[in-house]
Amino acid sequence: MDFPTPLARGTLVSRYKRFFADVVLDDGREITAHCPNPGAMLGLNTPGLIAWVSRSDDPKRKLAHTLELVEVDGGLVGINTLHPNRIVAEALATDAIPELAGYATHRREVRYGVNSRVDFLLEHPERSPCWLEVKNCHLRRTGTLAEFPDCVAARSLKHLRELTAMVEAGQRAVMLFVIQRMDCEAFAACAELDPAYAKGLTAATEAGVEVLAYDCAISTDRVVLADRRPWRDAPSG
């Protein structure tokens, strides 16, 4: 996924009200950017971090700039939660995810379950459909372990139950975590921040839902899916 326009570098002043971020650009301009991330952004919203923002010329937008990346410990981290679906769509189109390769069509936002839409429905005339949910992951607290979620994620837990229902109906279901950073070697559900989700992910896998985690190669020009990372089940209790 290429950024549509060159990103501008700046310094994060404050992230507030979930969807706003004040940034001082390197040229001295002070801007308020849209922050497309409803999560807690733990460790990624610290004032003084290097921030990278995109700009849109759409006159209908209230905020021209969007916060895209921050630099932590010298590495780039993607905070835009709208990007993982785009990243995955590109990877599916080129069969870059071996576990999900070989499907003829990849439909997006297909209704399923109870008032839900699955991120992707993969289909082939000679195969069972595959229901694919995608989640953005950018939390790293210790070592090289990526974690999700970074706050209570009731809606994400509902998606796990919807996927489980698909498996119980005899179809394939996959939960794919896109790790928008390059410094993690494994993935786990964050039981400390959302024990219900961690238990739900374990229960879903026991029912037959597949878990995939992939990190990304990130630059100020583009973000692309990179390498699969092992999933570690959350400790019981």
Question: Which residues touch 143 (CB under 8 Å, ≥6 apart)?
Answer: none
27-31's contacts with Cβ under 8 Å and 24+ in sequence apart are: 31/64, 31/65
pLDDT in tens, 147-172: 999 999 999 999 999 999 999 999 99
pLDDT of residue 3: 95
pLDDT of residue 232: 85
Per-residue pLDDT, averaged over 10-38, amounts to 97
pLDDT in tens, 20-30: 999 999 999 99
- Is the pLDDT confidence value at 236 over 50? no
**Which residue, among 53, 44, 65, 43, has the nearest Cα to 10 in the 3D structure?**
53
Same fold, 8-74 and 83-232: no
Q: Is the dihedral of CA 168, 171, 172, 175 positive or negative?
A: negative
* CATH architecture of structural domain 83-232: 3-Layer(aba) Sandwich (3.40)
- Is the pLDDT confidence value at 237 over 70? no
pLDDT of residue 173: 98
User: Domain-by-domain residue ranges, the chain?
Assistant: 8-74, 83-232
Q: Percentage of the chain with pLDDT > 70? A: 98
**Which residue, among 172, 193, 79, has the nearest Cα to 118 in the 3D structure?**
172
Looking at domain 8-74, which of 2.60.40.10, 2.40.50.580, 2.40.50.140, 1.10.600.10 is its CATH number?
Answer: 2.40.50.580
Are 217 and 112 in contact by the 8 Å Cβ rule? The answer is no
**Which residue, among 40, 39, 43, 37, has the nearest Cα to 81 in the 3D structure?**
37
pLDDT of residue 234: 60
- Is the pLDDT confidence value at 203 over 70? yes
- Is the pLDDT confidence value at 132 over 50? yes
pLDDT of residue 74: 87
Confidence of residue 235 (pLDDT cuts 50, 70, 90): low
pLDDT in tens, 44-69: 999 999 999 999 999 999 999 999 99
